């Protein structure tokens, strides 16, 4: 953005919330966030608690950009097709979890989770395929959990379920490139997520030909315009995903997806369905497999109902202050 808003102005507009989840995700059962009532509209600052200030400051840059100015990039679509997201739930809870997302044609399944085996993943993916039928689309997300050998073994075990792609099967760019070389005869694409949004050089994955597509998120990449520039320079198809945001954060992701010149894959922006409550009166949940594009405002009653306790509120305001100082410096 052109000029960094003053810290006092940002803090005066900040509301810290703690939102319960339908099912534990990433080891937590509540999602904390700072909502900002900016002059251009509501925005969200919600880096995960384990991220250091250097990484979190990029999320703040995105939140301030979205809350204090409108992107100049034109929107080319008014709704965004989205996937359902399936955490590592027991088999008997898969149908209920998928029902939260309505009529989504695509499901992203978390695999390689701590405490889970490949047999668990095979069973979960197989049950999802049975429920979806042959026309549904299935993609996997390993969050970099596998070695190259483990990833190759897993992909070969799971390809029977007609996979669309596997997201971040390995942690590093060289590992992704090696896996892609090994499975090039299998009709399963490799997508890069952490190797883009958490990398010092987010274009390295494209230069190494280590992925067939990019999974991008507006907040970790510093905002809509930066994410659009990255996709343009990488020259690869992109899927816009969320970071388990509230509906305010999802609206920023939808704005990014609306401005991509091409959108060949359903996006991971349906995760409001995993929240047991939300900060808006009408949560941005999928309807007929899509979410609408457009700014939305926080609901004042919800802000009160979901307000974080004083200790967590103070911790987030201190974190915001530290990240603002990094951006100012």
- The alpha carbon of residue 136 and the mean position of all alpha carbons in its chain are separated, in whole angstroms, by 21
Asked if pLDDT for residue 26 goes beyond 80, the answer is: no
- Tell me which CATH homologous superfamily contains domain 7-73+300-328: Enolase-like, N-terminal domain (3.30.390.10)
Is 266 part of any known ligand binding site?
A: no
The bridge status of strand 41-45 relative to strand 28-38 is antiparallel
Distance between CA atoms of residues 326 and 329, nearest Å:
5
Looking at the chain, the domain(s) classified CATH 3.20.20.120 span: 79-292
What is the percentage of the chain residues whose pLDDT exceeds 70? 99
In this predicted structure, what is the pLDDT of residue 27?
76
Q: Are 40 and 68 in contact (CB under 8 A)?
A: yes
Nearest C-alpha neighbor of 25 from the set 137, 128, 82, 100? 100
- Name 95's Cβ contacts closer than 8 Å, sequence gap at least 6: 131
In this predicted structure, what is the pLDDT of residue 198?
87
Q: Which residues of 15-25 are buried (b: 16+ CB within 10 A; e: fewer)?
A: bbbbbebbeeb
CATH architecture of the domain formed by 79-292 = Alpha-Beta Barrel (3.20)
Average pLDDT value for the chain: 96
In this predicted structure, what is the pLDDT of residue 1?
56
Question: Whole-prediction pTM value?
Answer: 0.95
In this predicted structure, what is the pLDDT of residue 19?
98
Nearest C-alpha neighbor of 65 from the set 200, 187, 201, 223? 223
In this predicted structure, what is the pLDDT of residue 73?
72
Q: Are 177 and 208 in contact (CB under 8 A)?
A: yes
Active site residues: 110, 217
In this predicted structure, what is the pLDDT of residue 24?
82
Q: Are 44 and 252 in contact (CB under 8 A)?
A: yes
- 8: which 2 tokens? 């006092």
Is 193 part of any known ligand binding site?
A: yes
The dihedral sign for the CA sequence 211, 261, 43, 2: positive
What is the percentage of the chain residues whose pLDDT exceeds 90? 93
- 313: which 2 tokens? 């509120």
Q: How confident is the model at residue 77 (pLDDT cuts 50, 70, 90)?
A: very high
- pLDDT tens, residue by residue, 151-184: 999 999 999 999 999 999 999 999 999 999 999 9
Higher pLDDT: 82 or 26? It is 82
Asked if pLDDT for residue 306 goes beyond 90, the answer is: yes
Is 141 part of any known ligand binding site?
A: yes
Asked if pLDDT for residue 234 goes beyond 60, the answer is: yes
Nearest C-alpha neighbor of 155 from the set 166, 144, 147? 166
- Name 210's Cβ contacts closer than 8 Å, sequence gap at least 6: 173, 174, 176, 177, 180, 190, 192, 195, 204
Looking at the chain, the domain(s) classified CATH 3.30.390.10 span: 7-73+300-328
Asked if pLDDT for residue 2 goes beyond 80, the answer is: no
247-259 and 224-234 helices cross at what angle (nearest 10)? 40
Distance between CA atoms of residues 161 and 139, nearest Å:
10
Nearest C-alpha neighbor of 249 from the set 214, 289, 285, 218? 218
């Amino acid at each position: 953005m052109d000029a960094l808003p003053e810290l006092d102005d940002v803090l005066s507009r900040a509301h810290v919330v703690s939102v319960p989840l339908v099912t534990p995700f990433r080891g937590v059962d509540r999602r904390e966030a700072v909502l900002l009532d900016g002059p251009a509209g509501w925005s969200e600052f919600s880096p995960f608690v384990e991220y250091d200030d250097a990484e979190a400051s990029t999320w703040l840059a995105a939140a301030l950009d979205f809350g204090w100015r409108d992107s100049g990039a034109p929107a080319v679509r008014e709704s965004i097709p989205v996937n359902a997201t399936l955490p590592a739930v027991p088999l008997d809870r898969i149908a209920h979890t998928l029902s939260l997302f309505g009529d989504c044609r695509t499901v992203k399944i978390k695999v390689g989770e701590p405490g889970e085996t490949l047999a668990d993943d095979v069973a979960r993916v197989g049950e999802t395929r049975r429920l979806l039928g042959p026309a549904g689309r299935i993609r996997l997300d390993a969050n970099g959990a596998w070695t190259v050998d483990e990833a190759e073994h897993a992909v070969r075990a799971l390809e029977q379920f007609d996979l669309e792609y596997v997201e971040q099967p390995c942690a590093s760019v060289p590992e992704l490139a090696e896996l892609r070389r090994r499975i090039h005869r299998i009709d399963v694409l490799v997508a890069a997520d952490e190797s883009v949004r958490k990398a010092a050089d987010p274009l390295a994955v494209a230069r190494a030909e280590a992925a067939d597509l990019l999974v991008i998120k507006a907040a970790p990449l510093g905002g809509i315009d930066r994410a659009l520039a990255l996709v343009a320079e990488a020259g690869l198809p992109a899927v816009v995903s969320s970071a388990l945001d509230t509906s305010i954060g999802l609206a920023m992701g939808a704005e990014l997806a609306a401005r991509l010149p091409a959108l060949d894959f359903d996006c991971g922006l349906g995760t409001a369905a995993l929240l047991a409550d939300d900060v808006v009166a009408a949560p941005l949940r999928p309807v007929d497999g899509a979410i609408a594009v457009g700014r939305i405002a926080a609901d004042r009653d919800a802000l009160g109902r979901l307000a974080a306790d004083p200790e967590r509120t103070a911790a987030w305001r201190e974190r915001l202050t530290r990240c603002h100082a990094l951006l100012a410096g």
